[in-house]
Amino acid sequence: FSLCTAGLCATIATLVPTFGVGLLVNGFFIVLFFAFGGFISQAEVIPAALEWIKYLSPFYYAFESLMINDLEGETCFFAPRDAEGKATVGFSIPLQCEQYLFNMGIKPKNFDRNVAMLGIWSLIYVALSFVFLVMFVRGKR
């Protein structure tokens, strides 16, 4: 994830003319990818016309992979709360965490795909930044 986002920032940095523009463009893409990455909104509530953005987002692949890695095969315990928000003492509901993942729209079978996509996007971003940097240097001569 870190390499992927660093590659994205490096690619944008090679394309923009100034530091300020680079910060603005990088910020735009980071916020856009974060918004469609699964942290803020679940995949099922994203409008169909905008769903494709999540497949460009390193946040989507990283979030889903981390959730699967941490929760698959575990048992989650949920403690009901009363009207004031206080947890009910001595009472919890055991639930397989896979059910929680499915409720969030996360499919454990996608783990390998997510890790592979982070690697692929990392390679793409690093290659693009190298190509753009070479084009920029050759254009300056």
pLDDT in tens, 5-41: 999 999 999 999 899 999 999 999 999 999 888 877 7
Query: What average pLDDT does the chain have?
Result: 88
Positive/negative CA dihedral, 130, 134, 140, 141: positive
pLDDT band at 121 (very low <50, low <70, confident <90, very high): very high
Which amino acid appears at position 60 of this protein? Y
Instruction: Please tell me the distance from the alpha carbon of residue 120 to that of residue 114, in angstroms, as a whole number.
Output: 10
Give the end-to-end CA distance of the chain in Å, rounded to a whole number.
35
Instruction: Round to whole Å and give the CA distance between 111 and 63.
Output: 10
pLDDT band of residue 141 (cuts 50, 70, 90) is low
Question: Tokens 């523009």 sit at which residue?
Answer: 21
pLDDT level of residue 130 (50, 70, 90 thresholds):
very high
126: left (phi over 0), alpha (psi -120 to 50) or beta: alpha
Q: What is the pLDDT of residue 68?
A: 94
**What pLDDT is attached to residue 29?**
94
CA distances from 127 to 25, 121, 123, 132 (A): 19, 10, 6, 9
Which helix (H) or strand (E) segment holds residue 96: the answer is strand 93-96
Tokens of 107: 């499919």
- pLDDT tens for each residue of 67-97: 999 999 899 888 888 788 787 777 788 888 8
- Whether pLDDT at 48 is above 60: yes
